[in-house]
Structure 1
Amino acid sequence: MFHKPTLILKSTYAAITLSRVTIAFFLFSLIHCFAQGIIQALLYSVDSEFEGVVTQIVQAAKIPLQNLTLLQGSPNHWTLSMCDDIPHGQPRYPCSVIFQSGVGVGKTPGAVEAGIRDSVSILQDYNAGFTVAPSFDSNNSLAGVTVESSAAPPVFLSRQCARILVYPQQVLQNSVREDITFIFFQFWLMGVSLFGVSRGSIPHMLTALGSRFLITAWSSYILIYRTNSQKGIFQEIVSTPGTECGVELFPTYFGTRYAFNVADAVLNFSALFVSGLLSWNLLKVYKAQSVKRVGAPENVMRIYKFFMAVQAVLQLEVFVLIVATSLWVDLLTKTAISVLSTHTTLYNALILATTILVIPWIALGWYGVRLERKSFIISFLGVGFFFIAGWSIMFYSIVYRWSFVQWPYLACFGVASFILIIASMVLATICWRNFDQGLAEYLHAEAALADFTPEVFQHSDIEKSGEKNGDFYTYDEPDFPLPTFHAKAHSRSGSDSSFPAPIRGPPPSYDKPYSSKPMPF
C-alpha cells in the first residue's frame, strides 16, 4: 500500500542528491525562497502599517467609498482631482480639483498650521499607538479628524486633507496587494524548481528561469523609478508646508521601503545569475540523458523541444492568469470600483468561468500534446479562444480600462496572460501538425524507463566515475581471458566459413558492477 509513495520519496531524495549540482540547486531554491519571502513580508509589513494609518484618517473623515482620485501633470506641476465616477466624456464632468501645486484649493489655514507644528510628534508615536477621531465644528458639521496619542498633543487634519489622502491610500493598498502576490510567488517558484530537479524536468527549469527574469525586471523598475516617484508625489501633495495637509505622514516609510527594495533587487539579480548557471548545467545533463536513454531521431527531438516549450508556457500561465484574475477580483470587491461598476454580474461570470476552466485547460494542452490526442488539442484551442475573447471584451468595460491604466502592476499581469495564452496555443498547434511522427512513442518509452533511472538506486563511486567517462558499464579488466569468436572456422566438410572480426564477449555478471544508467537502445 505504501510502496509507491515510499518509492517516490526515495526517488525524489536520490534525484536531489544525484550530484553536487542537483544538491546546490535544491539548497539554492530553498534558501532563496525563504530569504526572498522574508524581504517581501517586511515590505508587506511596512506598506500595510502606513496604509492602515491613512485608511483610518480617510474613514474617520467619512470620505465616500465611491470617490477615487485622478493625478495628472508632472513633478512640481501636479493636479489632483477627486471623482465620484470614472471620467469618460460624460456631459457632467465627475471630477473636481482638490490639490494643485503652488495653489491652495479650499485651504483651512488653521489646520495647516497645526499640521506643520505637530507633524514630527504625530509620526514618532505611530508605533506607540494613536487614535483617529472625527472632529466637528460649531455647527456640528464634520470638519476633519483629530489624531491623538499619549506622548503628543492632538493634531487636527481638515476634511480637505483627508480627501487628498485618498490618493496615498489607493497607492498603498495596491502596494499591499503586490506584496501578497510576491510572497505567494516565491513559494510557487520554489515548488516549480524543486519539482523540476526532482523529476529532471526541463520545462520546469525553463519556467523557473523565465519567472526569475520577470521578477528581476519588476524589482528593478520598483527600485530605479517607482519608489522615488511616489516619494516625490507624496512629499508634494501631503508634506509640503503651506498645503492643505502640511503634515509629514511618511517620514520613515520611503527610507525603509527603499532599503528593502535594494535588498530585494540584489537577491533577485543574484538568484537570476546563480539559477542561470545551475539551470544551464542541469539542462545539459537532462538533455544528454534524454537523448542517450532512448536514442530518438533528430526530427522527434525537434518536436520534443516544442513539447517542452508548451509545458513551460502553460506552467507559467497557471500563476500569471490566476494572479491577474485575483487582482481584478480584489479591485472589484474592495475599492471604489465595487460601487461604480454596473456590470459586476457579467464580470463575476467571466471570473468564475476562468477559475473553473484554467486547470482543465492546462491539462488539455499538456496531455493533448503528450498523448497526441487531436480532440484534446481542439478543446484546448477552443478554451484558449474563449479566454482571449472574454478578457478582450473586458476592455469595453470602463472600470476595467480605468484600473488597467491606473495600476501598471495589473496591466503587466494582464498583458503577460494574453501573451502566454497566445504562445501556448501557437506552440500546441505546431505540435498538432507534427502528430504521428514518433513523439508519443518517445515519451511513452521515456516514461517507462523512468522506473529504472538512477534515482531509484543507491549511487556509488563507480557509477559516478562512469558518468564522468561517459561509459555505460564500469568494470575492471579481469585477470583471465574471455571467450572470443575467431575470424575463420572449419566446417565438417573441410571448407572455410567466414565469421566477423574477433569480438570480445560480454563481461561476466560477477565482474560487472551494477550501473544505474538505463540500457541504451
Structure 2
Amino acid sequence: MAGGRVDMLNREGRQLVKRFLSFARAKLLYSRITLTRFTTLYFFFALTSCIVLSILQGITFADNSAGVAILSPFINISTDPIILLDNKGLRTCTSVPNQPGTSCVLRQSFFIDFNQSSDSSRQQSSGQGAYGVEPDEDDDKNNLRLLNKELDVLQSSLAKNCIISLGWVGEAIEDAKREDVVTMLFQIWLLSLALVAILNESIPHLGAAFLGHVLNTAWAGYRIRSTLSLTNLYRSKIVAGACQDVDVMGHWWDVKLQHSIPFLIVNLIILLAFAYLSCKLYKVYANQSFSRVGASQSVLRIYKLVLIFSVCLQLSGFFSVAAAGMWLNKVCYGFLMKLAQDANVYMAAFIVILVGWVCVRRECGIRFGIFCAISCLLLAISSALFSSPVYRYIFTTWPFFATVTITAYVLLMATSILGVVCRLNFGKGLAHYLRVTDALEDADFTPVSFSRRAEIDVEKVDFNSFKPAKSESLSEPVTAPISIQLPVSSFKPVQRQSVKDRFSALFRGSMNSTDTIKLSSSPPLISELGPRPIVSRSRLSVASSFAGRQRSENVLKLTRQKDERIDPSVIPPVLPSKPSRSPQDLPRILTDPPSRTSSRAGSPIQQGTGLPANPRGQKAKKGATEQKVSAGTDFGQQ
C-alpha cells in the first residue's frame, strides 16, 4: 500500500516536471522575455543585479561574522539580560526597562562629548593596542588563533564594565548579521517579482519590484549611517572610557565601511536603471497587458485587482516571514533568551500558510474562508504582540526590525481588504477566463493582442475620441478622420476619377498603371458608381421609341401591372437584365457619362442611375414626347 502511494507521488512529480519543462511553457517564457528589447534587457538586468547584490551582501555578512567571532567570548557573560549603552553611560537591567519590578544599575557614566572625542578616540584606537587585530592578508588564520589565545588573557584582565560593553557591541553586530540574511533573501525575492511581472505582463508586479529596489537602496544608505554611528560610539565611549584605550576590534570598522560604500553605490546605479526600464515596460504593458482579445472590460478590471492583491500577498508573506524569523532568532538565540519563557509558543504562532493566491484565482470558497481565517489570526497576533514588553523593547531598539514589522503589518491589512474585495467579485467570469488562458498557453496558442493606438489598431476604434467637432467655415459638424489599416490583399482605393475620363482613357491608351481598372466577379465593397439603376416608367417609355410600337405597348402594360402590386412608399429591389445594345450605340455610351438623377416631383418611385442616350435638340425631345403620348393613346384605344 505504501509502495503504491510512493509510485503515485513519483508519477505526479514526473508529470509536474514534464509540464513545467514542456515546450509550450518554455516557448511562452521565451516569448514573454523577448517581447521587446526592453523586456529582454529588464530580465537580464534583474538577474545580473540579483547576483551582484547577493555577492556584495555576502561580503558584508562575512564581515559581520568576523566581528561576531571577535566579540563572541564577551557575549552573554553578564548575568543581567538587558544591557543599555548610549552616550550617557552603561546600564544593566534585570528585565525590560520601564516595567514594574525592573531594576537598572548605572555601570559607568560617559562624560566625554560625543562629537569632540570622535577624532581623538579614532587616533588612540588606530590599532596600536596590545590586543588589536592587525590586518594580514597572508596569515589571517594565524591571527585568529593568536586572537583566541589572547582573548582568554584579555577577558581576565579587562574590567567588568568593558566586558559588558563589548557584549553589547557583539549583540549589535549579531543583529546586523540577521539583517544581512534578510536583505540577501530579499534580492532573490525581487528577482522573482521581476520574473512574475514579465510572465504576467503585470504592471502591479512591475511597480512592486521597483519599490523594492527603492527600499533596498534606502536601507543600504541607512546601514552606512548606522555603521558610522556605532563606530563613533565604540571608539569614543567604549574604548576611551570603559576599556581604557584597549581596542579589540582594530581595523574591522574601517574594512566594514569600505565594503558598505560600494554596496550603496551599486544600489543607486541599479535603482536608476530599473527606473528607466520600468518606465519603458509600463508603456509596453499599458497597451498590451489589459488589451487582449477575448475578455470583457469587467473581467479585465477584476484581473487587475487580482494582480494587485497578489503583489500585496507576496510582499506581505515575505515581510511577515522575515519579521517572524528575526523576532524568533532574537528571542531564542540572543541575550533575551532568558526573558523568553514562551519561545515555543512564539514559534508555533508564526506558521504562515499562504493559500490566498490559489483560492482567489480559482475562486475556491472553502480555501478562501481558510485564507480569511489565517489573515485575521495573523492580524490578531501582530496586534497582540505589541502587548509584550520584550517585543516592544526589540521594536524600539532595533530599527530594521521595526521597519520590517510595520511594512508587514500594513501589507497584511491591505491583503486582507483586497481579499474581501476579490471575494465579492467571485462568479463574474475571471476563473473561466484564467482557465481558458492557461489551456491555450498549454496548447501553444499565441494570445491575440491589440494596441490602443488608432494608427495601428485595425479591429478596435475608440469612438469616444472621434466625437464630431464644429468646423469654423461650415455649419455642419466635421468628424475626425479614422485611419484604417486594411490587409494586403484587400481593396485599395485609388484617386477618384470621373467615368468619362476612365472610358476615354481606355480607348486613348493613356491610363497609368496605377489606374488600371480591376474587374471582379464579386461586388466591390466600396463603389464609386453607386447602386444599379432602377428602371422607371419614363425610362421604359423613352426606350420604347427605339424598339417599336408593339414593344412599347407590352412594356407599358407590364409596368402598370407592377405599379398596382408595389407599395408606392417602398422601393423594390428591381434587378432588370441589361438591355441589348448594338455596336452603333457604343460611341454614344462612351461620350455621355452616367449621372445620378433625382426623382420626379410627386413620383413615388425614385429614378436610378442609368446611361441615357445622347442629348438631342429641343425638337428631337419634343418628337419623342409626342411618340410617347401617341403610343399611350393607341394602347388605350385598343
TM-score when normalising by structure 1: 0.75
Aligned twin of 2:21: 5
User: 1:101 Cα deviation (Å)?
Assistant: 0.8
Tell me if structure 1 keeps the 8 A contact 2:132–2:250: no
Q: Secondary structure of 1:81's partner?
A: strand
- Other-structure match for 1:238: 238
Match of 1:106 in 2: none
Partner of residue 402 from structure 1, selected from 393, 403, 406: 393
* 1:44 alignment partner, one of 58, 61, 64: 61
After TM superposition, give the deviation of residue 314 of structure 1 in Å: 0.7
> Among residues 355, 380, 401, which one is paired with 2:371 in the alignment?
380
- In structure 1, the residue corresponding to 2:245 is in which secondary structure? coil
- CA 1:132–1:482: 2 relative to 1, 3 Å: farther
The 1:433/1:84 distance shift into structure 2, 3 A limit, reads same
d(CA) in 2 for partners of 1:42, 1:265: 13
Match of 1:83 among 93, 116, 124: 93
CA RMSD of aligned residues (A): 3.8
Is the contact made by 1:12 and 1:199 (CA closer than 8 Å) also made in structure 2?
no
Residue in structure 2 matched with residue 161 of structure 1 by the alignment:
162
Contact 1:294 1:442 in 2 (8 A): no
State the Cα distance separating 1:456 from its structure 2 match.
9.8
Q: Is the 8 A contact 1:115 1:156 kept in 2?
A: no
Matched residue, 1:176:
177
Listed as ranges, the matches of 1:120-135 within 5 Å are 122-124=132-134, 127=140, 128-131=143-146
Which digits, 9 at most, give the CA deviation of each residue in 1:394-445, with x for residues without a partner? 2222222221211111111111111011001111222233444444444444
Following superposition, the deviation at residue 115 of structure 1 comes to 9.4
- The answer as to whether partners of 1:18 and 1:455 remain within 8 angstroms in 2 is no
Give distance in 2, aligned partners of 1:482 and 1:249.
Answer: 97
1:496 match: secondary structure: coil
1:419 paired with 2:413, answer: no
Residues 299-310 of structure 1 aligned to structure 2 (within 5 Å) = 299-310=298-309
8 Å CA contact retained: 1:66, 1:339: no
Q: In structure 2, how many angstroms separate the alpha carbons of the residues matched to 1:231 and 1:421? A: 36
Q: Is the 8 A contact 1:209 1:275 kept in 2?
A: yes
| CA distance in structure 2 between the partners assigned to 1:307 and 1:25 by the alignment | 23
- Structure 2 counterpart of 1:32, from 17, 41, 49: 49
Q: Does 1:70 align with 2:84?
A: yes
Whichever residue aligns with residue 231 of structure 1, its letter is T
Counterpart Cα distance in 1 of 2:303 and 2:200: 17
Query: Cα 1:45–1:302, aligned 2, differ >3 Å: closer, same or farther?
Result: same
The 1:428–1:120 alpha-carbon spacing in structure 2 relative to 1, beyond 3 Å, is: same
Partner SS, residue 96 of structure 1: strand
* Corresponding residue for residue 146 of structure 1: 153
Contact 1:239 1:247 in 2 (8 A): yes
- Which of 54, 71, 83 is equivalent to 2:71? 54
- The count of aligned residue pairs is 449
Larger Rg: 2
**C-alpha separation between the residues in 1 aligned to 2:66 and 2:127?**
23
Indicate if the aligned counterparts of 1:369 and 1:431 stay in contact, CA closer than 8 A.
yes
Query: Residue 496 of structure 1 corresponds to which residue in structure 2?
Result: 573
**Cα gap change, 1:453 to 1:22, in 2 (>3 Å):** farther
Distance 1:310 1:428 in 2: 7
2:315 aligned partner, one-letter code: L
CA contact (8 A) 1:164 1:237 kept: no
Residue correspondence of structure 1 range 309-328 to structure 2 within 5 A: 309-328=308-327
2:227 aligns with 227
Q: Deviation per CA, 1:326-354, whole angstroms, max 9, x where unpaired?
A: 11121122112222222224323313xx2
* 2:288 equivalent to 1:289: yes
- Give the direction of change, closer, same or farther, for the CA distance of 1:131–1:65 in structure 2 (3 Å limit): farther
TM-score, with length taken from structure 2: 0.62
In structure 1, how many angstroms separate the alpha carbons of the residues matched to 2:276 and 2:519?
A: 47
- The 3-state SS of whatever aligns with 2:111 is coil
**Which digits, 9 at most, give the CA deviation of each residue in 1:112-159, with x for residues without a partner?**
xx9999516622167333445699xxxxxxxx94259xxxxxx95333
- Structure 2 residues not aligned, in runs of 5+: 1-14, 113-123, 460-484, 492-517, 526-530, 535-557, 563-571, 576-638
Percent of counterpart pairs with the same letter? 23
Aligned position for 1:279: 278
Cα distance in 1, alignment partners of residues 127 and 230 from structure 2: 24
Separation in 2 of the partners of 1:131 and 1:96? 35
> Structure 1, unaligned stretches of length 5 or more?
104-113, 136-143, 149-154, 458-462, 499-521
Provide the secondary structure at the position in 1 that maps to 2:129: helix
| Structure 1 contact 68–83 (Cα < 8 Å) conserved | yes
The separation in 2 between residues aligned to 1:267 and 1:446, in whole angstroms, is 39
Q: Distance in 1 between matches of 2:170 and 2:383?
A: 29
Matched residue SS, 1:129 = helix
CA contact (8 A) 1:50 1:253 kept: yes
Distance 2:178 2:455 in 1: 49
What is the one-letter code of the residue matched to 1:102? F
Post-superposition offset of 1:36: 0.6
Per-residue deviation, residues 87-132 of structure 1 (Å, max 9, x unmatched) = 3433451x322232138xxxxxxxxxx9999516622167333445
Match in the other structure for 2:38: 21
Partner of 2:133, secondary structure, is helix
Deviation for aligned residue 1:377: 3.5
1:335 partnered with 2:342: no
C-alpha distance 350-66 of structure 1, shift in aligned 2 (>3 A): farther
Partner of 1:505: none
Equivalent residue number for residue 258 of structure 2: 259
Higher relative contact order (CA 8 A, sep 6+): 1
Alpha carbons 1:131, 1:147 under 8 Å: kept:
no
Partner residue in 2 for 1:517: none
Q: 1-side partners of 2:524 and 2:251: how far apart?
A: 89
Q: CA deviation at 1:304?
A: 2.9
What residue identity is the alignment partner of 2:321? I
Structure with more strand by fraction = 1
Q: Does 1:390 align with 2:381?
A: yes
In 1, Cα distance between the equivalents of 2:279 and 2:445?
A: 20
- Does structure 1 conserve the Cα–Cα contact (< 8 Å) formed by 2:125 and 2:239? no
Query: Secondary structure, in 3 states, of the residue corresponding to 2:357?
Result: helix
Give the conservation status (yes or no) of the 8 Å contact 1:200–1:286: yes
- Measured in 2, the distance between the counterparts of 1:87 and 1:246 equals 30
Q: 1:485 is matched with which residue: 481, 506, 523?
A: 523
Partner Cα distance (1:28, 1:474) in 2:
39
**Distance in 2 (alpha carbons) for counterparts of 1:497 and 1:48:** 97
Tell me how far apart the structure 1 counterparts of residues 70 and 100 of structure 2 sit (CA, whole Å): 35
In 1, distance between residues paired with 2:109 and 2:181? 33
- 8 Å CA contact 1:68–1:166 kept in 2: the answer is no
Pairwise CA distance, 1:212: 1.5
